[in-house]
Structure 1
Amino acid sequence: MDNIDRKILSLLQHDASLSINEIAGQVNLSSTPCWKRIRRLEDDGVIKKKVALLDYDKIGGGIMVFVSIKTNEHTQEWFNQFVATIDEMPEVLGFYRLAGDVDYMMKVMVPDITSYNDFYIRLIDRLPLSNVTAGFVMEQIKDTTELPLPH
């Protein structure tokens, strides 16, 4: 990956709706070589997909919750069941295994506190968990999908 690829990725991360011609102009390439680079980045899996980012407040709003989970279970069978459970819960936007005091962290979006309670009950009914702690987001200060690119 060279500097032109990184510039293309930066532009697409900021606005994936840019046309090939717009991108090509900003990276000083003609359209065809620019298109070929983008295609290669897609084929190589560097660009996973292009999506529309929605403003949750404008489509009904809700609350974001960071859910910390501790467990005494660490078998592969338990983990596979945990992943299958989370895959069935559309409220979960992110799911991470951590090092430290907390074993797992989830980023969850729900319409209201009652919906979070329903989510919580479904979660603890399906899996043995030793501690589930919720942190309710009061203000979103920064939220981006743009990854920093190495120079």
Structure 2
Amino acid sequence: MIDDRDRKLLNHLQSDADISISDLADRVALSVSACWRRVRRLYEQGFVARRIAVLDRQKMNVPTTVYMMIQTSDHSIEWLEKFRQAVLDIPEIIEVHRLTGNIDYLLKVVLPNVEHLDAIYKMLVNKVNFVDVSSYISMEGMKETTMIPTSYA
């Protein structure tokens, strides 16, 4: 079980995992040692899955976001494993979600520009059979975050 102070710690860590324990302690009104113990406990209990660096997509030259919606008529385990391997092999595909409704899978793809979309499309359809693939180009990212709400824990 975590309390409000733990939630504050987690929120600060989500926005800046490199924050010093001293600065973190100041922000949540704890002593450095108490803050360190709480942070260590949160890590040990698995509330922090991992620490990562979020790269600047503009500087990495992948500013374009495309969402691909996939429909399949084959829902076998064999097809799913082939599909899973295909999307894992393509680094431009950064998220894959299985959905309810008419669309089976939603893929988030990051690219240097729209012209690269055809190459990703060909890589996918050469590895796995689909009923339909539709692509939607994001014109503007209005909210993009890696932070999740902490109020439910």
Q: TM-score range with shorter-chain normalisation? A: over 0.9
Q: 1:49, CA displacement in angstroms?
A: 1.6
**Equivalence map 1:120-135=2 (5 Å):** 120-135=121-136
Q: Report % sequence identity.
A: 34
TM-score (norm 1): 0.92
Match of 1:55? 56
Cα RMSD (Å): 1.5
Q: 1:94, CA displacement in angstroms?
A: 0.6
Quick one: distance in 2 between partners of 1:40 and 1:87? 33
Quick one: distance in 2 between partners of 1:40 and 1:102? 41
List per-residue Cα deviations over 1:42-63 (Å, max 9, x = no partner).
2222111222222211332431
For the residue of structure 2 that corresponds to 1:56, the secondary structure is coil
Q: 1:15, CA displacement in angstroms?
A: 1.7
Match of 1:141? 142
The structure 1 segments of at least 4 consecutive aligned residues displaced by more than 6 Å after TM superposition are none
List per-residue Cα deviations over 1:81-137 (Å, max 9, x = no partner).
211111111001111011111111010001123321111001001001111110001
Quick one: distance in 2 between partners of 1:25 and 1:147? 23
> Quick check: 1:107 aligned with 2:144?
no
**Equivalence map 1:6-85=2 (5 Å):** 6-85=7-86
Match of 2:97? 96
For the residue of structure 1 that corresponds to 2:90, the secondary structure is coil
Quick one: distance in 1 between partners of 2:65 and 2:79? 26
Between Structure 1 and Structure 2, how many residues are aligned?
151
* More displaced 10-residue stretch of structure 1: 57-66 or 134-143: 57-66
Question: Structure 1: which 5+ residue stretches go unaligned?
Answer: none
TM-score (norm 2): 0.91
